[in-house]
Structures are given as structure tokens and as C-alpha cells.
Amino acid sequence: ILHRQGSALQRIKSGEKIHLLTVIGQSVFGLEVYKELRKEGHTIVGVFTIPDKDGKADPLGAEAEKDGVNVFKFPRWRLKGKGIPEVVQVYKATGAELNVMPFCSQFIPMEVIDHPAHGSIIYHPSLLPRHRGASAINWTLIHGDKKGGFTVFWADDGLDTGPILLQRECDVEPDDTVNTIYKRFLFPEGVKGTVDAVRLIAAGNAPKIVQPEEGATYEGIQKKDNAKIDWNQSAQVLHNWIRGNDKVPGAWAEVDGQKVTFYGSSLLDSGATAIGQPLEIPGASQPGLVSKAGLMLFGNDGKALLVKNLQFEDGKMIAAARYFSSGSSASVELTEEEKTFGVWKSILTNVDAIEDSTDFFKSGAASMDVVRLVEEVKLRASGCQLQNEDVYMNTTFQDFIQMCVKKLRGEDDEEELVVDYVEKNINNMTIRMPHQLFVNGEFVDAEGGKTYKTINPTDGTAICDVSLAQASDVDRAVAAAKEAFEEGEWGKINPRDRGRLLYKLADLMEEHQEELATIESMDSGAVYTLALKTHVGMSIQTFRYFAGWCDKIQGCTIPINQARPNRNLTFTKKEPIGVCAIVIPWNYPLMMLAWKTAACLAAGNTVVLKPAQVTPLTAMKFAELAARAGFPKGVINILPGSGALVGQRLSDHPDVRKLGFTGSTEIGKHIMKSCAVSNVKKVSLELGGKSPLIIFSDCDMDKAVRMGLSAVFFNKGENCIAAGRLFVEENIHDQYVKRVVEEVKKMKIGDPLDRSTDHGPQNHKAHLDKLVEYCQTGVREGATLVCGGKQVSRPGFFFEPTIFTDVQDHMFIAIEESFGPVMILSKFKSGDVDEVLRRANATEYGLASGVFTRDISKALYVSEKLNAGTVFVNTYNKTDVAAPFGGFKQSGFGKDLGKTYNKTKTLL
């Protein structure tokens, strides 16, 4: 079959199309097939998909509606086994010549299947005739097949029994799950294969090969009830069963009297041993072992497998290694002697009887009682070292006694933070970098062990593999953040203790500042000296600044009309909002993290943060430092991964209450829509900019040249507030250009870790390519390229500092942001202040701006008229943690830093 298809594909003539085609199906898979068919030039006369769910359209239907294609959303096609006449009539009216069913969960009547001239084809995720039915991928794994793949076949009224048109196969890896094999092969190759099948039909070369009965199998849909684990099998069979049911419906067994579902199975080598705590599992050949690596399970052949995650009946998921600390064994059994230990009974004299649930503070205890309680315990139990915070975190009698006994037994030691470091000797130091997700206080692998390589822009080589978060990882992180906010100790900590943790974190960041700056320089290309001073230095300042705000967030009282005879008091109370999602860019990886995270934490929120996929490493190191500072589990979660997956899931997640995003205007608009549709979550956006800088002839020329260069080339031009366009008064224009060109030519381009380097590499290859294209566009439009404009001839992603003059207002480079080291210069007529203001404001952006003049009246007038969130006067790039920062118009809304307000203009 494969040989015949290959020959047929080579015979397809270009331009052969099927003019009238319908797509019947759903999901992102259906969407991708639809998009590829349109690219091929096929005319799609209708898309039939499922009805909207919770007000949200299926991706296939949503895309087709945007394209103006007729979309039909019938809840069903058949009733009692027969086609619904009205539905069939609507379908036939499309005049389709072929039905393509890339992923279809509905039963389609045969009168629809057989109606088109070319019939109907359907995608199936197995090598038919093996594994017919809806759980084909599951059974491929459960049966331990070495080969998997997909089939495109001609639909009929059987259970995937129609003639075969096309098949493609792949190897099944030993630890593949439904998710990994689907994403690695069945999805991307399935889309291509379905489109290839349509090509074959269009060319008249599509085979119809009757399925053999030999080797045909059919097994029912995998459901939770029949996914129970039978332990009387080999380790290989157990592994296949668990991974074949991962993530849906989930293989489960009874443990400690409740259903526990197992995820993330991997086979262990025959000689693998583990030290761990035994866990009795009914029916298993021997107890499991809970170790640091996970839960080791054993087959009846004595061989072992390891599962990484467990889920309980209430939906809570934990790392398997945490079973005894986070699972069902939370309380401590007290001895008779220990049960008599209750110092606080003598303090709460106004309470008749103290039960386990009696609350210390609700029963009338005060701050001095806390001190007295702590000191009495220390005297009567010399081995028990208490702090005042221990009382605040354990307010009921049972919790307090449990905590004291744990301390006396020496069981309260904090678990050691397990970090799988990548170590590198660089910049005259050894740096140790975490590279896994940070979820609920632990560094963990992404679902399926997914990773990607983060690249050093200085030479284009890979730094290390980083865990690539999946949608399920987002759900785990949000659940952890929600639990930490609603149930954990974070919600009980008083504001000053929150501030103490933030101060401690800032101290740890300062202690590791050289390491952080080196990681930042290596991962983002920032010049080390700048990374040390700004990327890291301002991050430390940010956490210290917001640490001071923790106990100063206040409400107010409001005078209202009295409703006599009653008198009323009205007051407001500012409260944390809950789980905050943060999506940050790649130009200032650590600083953008600090700007947004510090404020969220100071207010008492919890955080799930997605660093830019190309610059994740300082965020991972930050996670380690936060854990070592003592932040409770779940308060801070870091998920490196793609924006399309992780960022989208955070935007859509119903338990996220606020999303802060820094990035492009295009993505910002998409995020706003998703946040509105999901749960109307609050949003703050810091988006694109095209910041104007106006230089008048009465300026301090030396300063204007120096600061103008900084305005454009600071951080390699990868700066959201970079001066995207300079307006220079015509009588000094030529002199100004000459001066800046002289200075640009002095810049040393090179290794960012070299202390003498002025200009490092651009952040990543795709951005470098965009800069080259941007400058080529400027030249084509007629702007004068004075210098630069091309990639530097050396390894890495280096781009020459560039200057354009004679830039007219209509040109692309005058309108669009380069986000790179490109100076755009335009003249304006001498003395025409209002005209240059009109040109400067003729943009949809409004992030920052600047003016250079010695005339204070002119400076105030221009700064008032410029439509930007920040106006720099006779300086540029001067930001401070106490000054609110954010934009107007399509540069976004909301403010970072300072004591922010809805709309603020900052003059510096």
C-alpha cells in the first residue's frame, strides 16, 4: 500500500483541485486539515462541526466562520439510526463533491457518506484493520504494539471497515503515552496524510484496498470503570496498561481505601533498586515503594516500573514521591503522654472546654498570649523550638499540638529541595541552572517528559534541555496556586511576614546576582554588565520596593447619607484577587518577571508564570531562590513552554483571576478575547510601541547624542520603550546625524560576557531574520541606509547597529516597531512644534516618548501633548521601581511598578 501511494503521489499534476468539498469534524486536528486544504486551493463549501460548548465555538468552526465559509453546527445527524431529513437536506444543498472527516465524533448517515461524487474519507489513528474503534490509540499501547500509525479510509457503515486509501506508520517508543505518540506523529503526520489523500483523489489515483479480515481487532471504548489495574501481570503489561490509559480515562487501583489513578509510567531496568517507604497495594505481588523518584510498582515477574503522578478521588493530583506527605497520611498519631501536652489550656481561661477544633484567636487570645504560649512551650519542652509564626499558622488546638509533637520528634524539618541542575563553568564561575518546571514547590518534568533546547544567541549552540509544559501541567500549576491561596498557609500569613519573605528573596537574589546575570547574558544575549546592573539589579530593587508595600495596602471609609434613625458606616477593604497568571517577554526575562510577580505577591496573590520560551533559565533559577527563601508551596509556579499552548491555557483557565502580559499588540488582543470569553478575568497589557523622541535645536547636543544612542541601542534595541523614531529639527539634523554615526561606529560588537562589549547578539534567530527583512523594506521604500542593516559575519545572532535617515511618515519603518538596534531619523521644520507633535502622535501606540530642549516651557507643553504613558525630558530610559510604567492606546493598559492608577503619565 505504501509503495503504491508513493508512486501515485509523484504522478499528481499541479493545479488539480476538487472544486466543492466539505469538512465534517471538529478539534484542532480538524482545524489544521481545513487550513491545509484551503492552502491547497480546494473550495470548501461547508464545514459541519459540533455546537458551541459553554459559549465557545470549536476551533474548526471558529476558523471557518472567520474565513466566511458556511458553518453548520448540528447536535446530531441521525435519530433512531436514520438521518434527520432537515439536516441531510441542508448538507445536500452544499453540492459537495467530497466529504473529508478528519476527526468526527458524530454518527453520519450513509445517505450523506455516499452522496458526493467522490464519496467520503475519514482519518483513523491506527493501522487498520488492527484496532478498529474509538480507543484505537489506547489499545495500540495497551497491547504493546511496536508499530503504530494512522489510516485514511473510505467511510462506510461498518466500524472503520471501509476500503483503505492511505496508511503511514511509526515506531512506538517504550514510554510513549497517548499524548506523546499523538503529538509526535499522529497529529502532524495525520494532517499531512489527510491532505495527501485528497490530492490522490483529485488526481484520480486514490486506491480502494479492501481491508483484510486477518489481524482485524475491535475493542470497546476505554472508560474509567474498566480501567482498573489487574496487578497479577508482568511489569511490562502493567506499564502498557497505565500508559495506554494516560491521561484518559486513567488507570486506577484501590490504595488505602480510595481510588488512586496512576500517570507517567516508565519501565525500569532489571537491576533497578530504590530506597523508599513501602506502600501496601491490594492485589499487588509486593508493596510499592515511595521514593524521591516516584512510586515504584512491581509486576508478578519481579520487574519494576515507576509512576510519576497520582490523582485522588477528589481530583487532587500530587507527585507520587509526595504520597505520604501530601496524600492520605497528613496527621500524626499521638501517644498518651503527648496527648496531655497542651500548654495553651492555661492561657484560655475563659473557655470552659477545649476541643481539637478550638481556635486560639477566636477564643480571645491576643498577641501577648502568643508570646507567652511560645515561651511556655520552650520551657516545658526544651527540644521544641517555636516561633510566633508557628502559632499563627496553626490556630486550632489539634493543629498546634500536632505541630509541637512533630517538632519534638524531629519530624518538622523542611524537605530538601531536589534540583536537577545543569552546571556550566563560564564567566569565571560555576553556574547551576534548574531546567524543569516548578510546580507546587517542586521541580518536575513536563507531562510525557517533553523538553526543548534553549539556545545561546552568542554562538547558536544549545545551552541545555528545558522541560516543555503541556496543558495538563498548566492545570496542575493553577490548581496548586489556587489551593495555596484558598487553603494553604499563604492566605494566613500576615502582611508583614509576606514582606519579610519578599525581602529575604531579594537578599538571595543579590547573593546570587553574578550567577543570575551570567545566566541572563548567556540565555538572552544581554551584555553582562547591563544584565548585572539593570536586568538583575532592578529586579532586586523591585522586590525590595514591593516588600515595603505589603503592610501598607489600605482601604478607606466613605461618607454616605444616613438613613435615620440608623447611622451607617461604609468602608472598603482591598483584598488579593487570587491566582494571577503572568506571561513575560524575552527581552528582559528576569526584570519583567520581577515587575509583575513582586506586586502580585505583595498583595497576597499566588502566581503561575510563563517565561518566554526562548529565555526560561533565569525564571527557573528564580524559582529555586524563592523556594529557598521559604515561600510556601504553590505560591510561585514557573512553566516554560509555548505561548500558543501554555499562554492560551492560562488565558482560558477558569481559576485564573488576573492575567498580566507583556508582548506584542497582536497577541495582547487575542489574550483579551480569551480572558473575556473564559471568565471575564482582569487583564493588564504592556504591548508594542513606536516611541517618538523629539530633539529641538536648543537642546544640549552632547546629551541629546548620548541619550539618543541610549534611547535606540540600549539592550541591543530589544527594549519596549526604545525610541522607535527620532524627529530632529532641520537646522541641526545633519550635525546630529554625523555625531550619532561617529558614535555608532565606535561600538564594540562581541561576546556579551566580555566586559568591553557594547553590543551583544540579538535574542534569537527568528528575530534576527525579521530585523534583516525590516531594513531591506526600509531601503526598498527609499529611506537612506547610513550604516548597518545586515547580520554581522560571525557565529551567533549578531546584527549591526543601524541608522536610517530621510524616513517619510508613510514608510513601513516609520510606522512599525523594529524592536532592534535601528535608529529611524526624520526632519521637522524649525520652530514648528505643533506639526512635529501631530506627526509624533500619528501612531496607534503610546508607550513612551521623549523631548530634548533647554526651554522649560516648550518641554512642559510638548510633554503634555505627547500621547504616551511615559515622557522623558532631557533623558531617556530612566525608569525606577517607584514610578508607574505603562502605555496608552494599543500599547496596552494597566501599570507596572509604583503606586499605580488607571491612567498615569510619568514625566522623568
Catalytic residue among 550, 699, 720, 775: 720
Average pLDDT for residues 732-749, to the nearest whole number? 96
From CA 620, how far away is CA 609, in angstroms rounded? Answer: 10
pLDDT of amino acid 903: 44
Cis peptide before 565 (omega within 30 of 0): yes
Tens of pLDDT, residue by residue over 68-88, are 999 999 999 998 888 999 999
| pLDDT bracket for residue 318 (50, 70, 90) | confident
Catalytic residue among 124, 653, 733, 759: 124
DSSP state letter for 545: H
From CA 815, how far away is CA 580, in angstroms rounded? Answer: 34
Dihedral of the alpha carbons of 463, 465, 466, 469, in degrees to the nearest 10: 150
Find the helix packing angle between 617-629 and 513-524, rounded to 10°.
160
pLDDT higher than 80, residue 463? yes
Nearest 5°: the CA angle 667, 668, 670 is 65
pLDDT higher than 80, residue 334? no
Nearest to 391 by CA among 502, 488, 252, 492: 492
C-alpha cell at 683: 487583564
pLDDT higher than 90, residue 796? yes
Global pTM reads 0.60
The neighbouring-strand residues paired with 433 are 422
Nearest to 143 by CA among 34, 255, 244, 24: 244
Known binding site for (6R)-10-formyltetrahydrofolate: residues? 106-108, 160
**CB of 617 closer than 8 Å to CB of 523:** yes
757 — alpha (psi -120 to 50), left (phi > 0) or beta?
Answer: beta
| pLDDT bracket for residue 333 (50, 70, 90) | low
pLDDT of amino acid 814: 95
Nearest to 198 by CA among 243, 257, 152: 152
Regarding predicted confidence, which is higher, 376 or 114?
114
Find the helix packing angle between 537-547 and 513-524, rounded to 10°.
120
DSSP SS3 for 893: strand
- Residue written as grid cell 499531512: 192
Regarding predicted confidence, which is higher, 566 or 414?
566
pLDDT higher than 90, residue 320? no
Which positions ≥6 away from 41 have C-beta within 8 Å? 15, 17
First and final CA of the chain: distance in angstroms?
72
C-alpha cell at 831: 520652530
The neighbouring-strand residues paired with 347 are none
| 421 CB-contact burial (10 Å; exposed 0-12 / middle 13-18 / buried 19+) | middle
Tens of pLDDT, residue by residue over 379-424, are 766 666 677 767 766 777 777 777 777 666 665 545 568 889 999 9
Regarding predicted confidence, which is higher, 97 or 405?
97
pLDDT of amino acid 346: 65
The percentage of residues in the chain with a pLDDT greater than 90, rounded to a whole number, is 69
Regarding predicted confidence, which is higher, 758 or 7?
758
Distances (CA, A) of 624 to 32, 292, 434, 438, 589: 39, 18, 8, 8, 16
Give Cα 387 to chain centroid, integer Å. 37
Nearest to 217 by CA among 133, 127, 130: 130
The H helix count followed by the E strand count for the chain is: 29, 40
C-alpha cell at 97: 463533491
From CA 109, how far away is CA 579, in angstroms rounded? Answer: 46
| pLDDT bracket for residue 4 (50, 70, 90) | very low
pLDDT of amino acid 343: 62
| pLDDT bracket for residue 330 (50, 70, 90) | very low
Distances (CA, A) of 829 to 699, 738, 857: 15, 19, 19
**CB of 618 closer than 8 Å to CB of 520:** yes
pLDDT higher than 50, residue 205? yes
Tens of pLDDT, residue by residue over 589-644, are 999 999 999 999 999 999 999 999 999 999 999 999 999 999 999 999 999 999 99
| Residue 699 known to be catalytic | no
Dihedral of the alpha carbons of 439, 443, 448, 452, in degrees to the nearest 10: 110
Known binding site for NADP(+): residues? 584-586, 610-613, 643-648, 663-664, 770, 817-819
**CB of 331 closer than 8 Å to CB of 283:** no
State the alpha helices, DSSP H only, in 50-177: 59-66, 85-92, 110-113, 136-142
Tens of pLDDT, residue by residue over 31-58, are 999 999 999 899 999 999 999 986 778 9
| Residue 767 known to be catalytic | no
From CA 454, how far away is CA 796, in angstroms rounded? Answer: 14
DSSP SS3 for 663: coil
Known binding site: residues? 106-108, 160, 584-586, 610-613, 643-648, 663-664, 770, 817-819
From CA 28, how far away is CA 25, in angstroms rounded? Answer: 10
**CB of 688 closer than 8 Å to CB of 664:** yes
The percentage of residues in the chain with a pLDDT greater than 70, rounded to a whole number, is 90
Catalytic residue among 686, 718, 729, 800: 686
Nearest to 848 by CA among 812, 891, 794: 891
From CA 444, how far away is CA 432, in angstroms rounded? Answer: 17
Average pLDDT for residues 784-812, to the nearest whole number? 96
pLDDT of amino acid 389: 65
- Residue written as grid cell 534583516: 772
pLDDT of amino acid 487: 85
Mean residue pLDDT across the chain = 88
| pLDDT bracket for residue 718 (50, 70, 90) | very high
Q: Which amino acid belongs to residue 507?
A: D
Nearest to 205 by CA among 214, 192, 196: 196
**CB of 781 closer than 8 Å to CB of 813:** yes
| pLDDT bracket for residue 11 (50, 70, 90) | very low
pLDDT of amino acid 595: 95
pLDDT of amino acid 564: 67
pLDDT of amino acid 444: 94
CB atoms within 10 A of CB 754: 14
Tens of pLDDT, residue by residue over 484-525, are 999 888 988 889 989 999 999 999 999 999 999 999 999 999
C-alpha cell at 838: 501631530
In this structure, of 324-328, 457-461, 718-722, the range with the lowest mean pLDDT score is 324-328
Strands 579-583 and 658-662: parallel
| Residue 404 known to be catalytic | no
DSSP state letter for 414: P
pLDDT of amino acid 382: 62
pLDDT of amino acid 357: 72
Distances (CA, A) of 96 to 48, 50, 67, 904: 12, 19, 18, 57
C-alpha cell at 492: 494566613
Average pLDDT for residues 662-684, to the nearest whole number? 93
**CB of 792 closer than 8 Å to CB of 798:** yes
State the alpha helices, DSSP H only, in 752-887: 765-780, 812-815, 833-841, 856-865
From CA 646, how far away is CA 629, in angstroms rounded? Answer: 27
Nearest to 486 by CA among 356, 316, 361, 646: 316
